Amino acid sequence: MIHCAGTVRGRTPAEFEPANVLGSQQLVQAIQASDTAPRLLALSSLAAREPQLSPYAASKLAGERVVTASGNTVAWTILRPPAVYGPGDRELLPLFRLMARGIALLPGRAADRVSMLYIDDLTTAVMRWLAVDSPPRRIFTLSDPTAAGYSWADIVRIAGVVCGRRVRSVRVPSVVLDGIAGVNWAAAALLRYAPMLTPGKVRELRHSDWTCDWRELGAALDWQPRVDLATGMRNTLHDDDGR
């Protein structure tokens, strides 16, 4: 059984809890009550590593703890992917589009580092988990082939190569980003919508180290990622152009 449902938009912990925590709890209980007891692959997020940053991050860690608390009653594995992107992506595509026009808006410092993961590599990791007879009860991270991740300066440079143009870095002032997030957070309460850019999300964006490594998962599942950022960005933008 693969559990990949979740909420990524919201204002308060209560808005993330139903899908990210209670959903995991109900699924674990259903497995425990099942005669066949299917094994469970839970797709979490690298954000769970830093639960103090946002309600979303805290909810992902809480969901993981529900799964791990099942102990030996559930054959579970948890994956913590970093930023996942690819054709059809809605979150990183606007950033790639802007870079293709020659502008890169940086939420933090150019030296801050992030890991990335192309959707096809995540899919092959899931398929390898399904093919393994007894996957380990562990929490794994996974990333693209660049194990050290990318600085924002690296991402801007790669975008320039992919798009064949100079891409200019523009750091968004803290007061501007905080102001937009604050207004969005307040407006969401009044207009009753689930916001993406919130103070918590800004803290995530400004975090200096979102790098992780794929090699432990690779050894456990005989898997390795194939798509680096340059190839993945090119595929994503090409798919967008063809729509």
Please, are residues 51 and 96 in contact by the beta-carbon 8 Å criterion?
Answer: no
Q: With H, G, I as helix, E, B as strand and everything else as coil, classify residue 157.
A: helix
Q: How far is CA 205 from CA 44, 106, 148, in A?
A: 18, 9, 18
Place of tokens 């991402």: 155
DSSP-assigned beta bridge partners for residue 2: 41
pLDDT of residue 37: 84
Cβ neighbourhood burial of 111 (10 Å; 0-12, 13-18, 19+) = exposed
pLDDT digits (tens, 9 = 90+) for 199-231: 999 999 999 999 999 999 999 999 999 999 999
pLDDT bucket at 91, cuts 50 / 70 / 90: confident
Regarding pTM above 0.85, the answer is yes
pLDDT digits (tens, 9 = 90+) for 137-168: 999 999 999 989 999 999 999 999 999 999 99
Please, are residues 221 and 121 in contact by the beta-carbon 8 Å criterion?
Answer: no
Residue 217's closest CA among 115, 86, 80, 113? 80
Rounded Cα distance, 193 and 188, in Å: 5
pLDDT of residue 32: 94
Give the amino acid at 17: E
- Strands 113-114, 103-106: parallel, antiparallel or unpaired by DSSP? unpaired
Q: How far is CA 165 from CA 79, 111, 152, 160, in A?
A: 36, 22, 17, 5
Place of tokens 């969005």: 184
Q: How far is CA 145 from CA 32, 41, 76, in A?
A: 36, 22, 25
Question: Which overall architecture, per CATH, does domain 2-241 show?
Answer: 3-Layer(aba) Sandwich (3.40)
Q: With H, G, I as helix, E, B as strand and everything else as coil, classify residue 86.
A: coil
Query: Between these two residues, 195 and 128, which has the higher pLDDT value?
Result: 128
pLDDT of residue 89: 86
Place of tokens 């139903």: 18
DSSP per residue, 152-193: HHHHHHHHHHHHTS--EEEEPPHHHHHHHHHHHHHHHHHHT-
How do the domains of the chain map onto residue ranges? 2-241
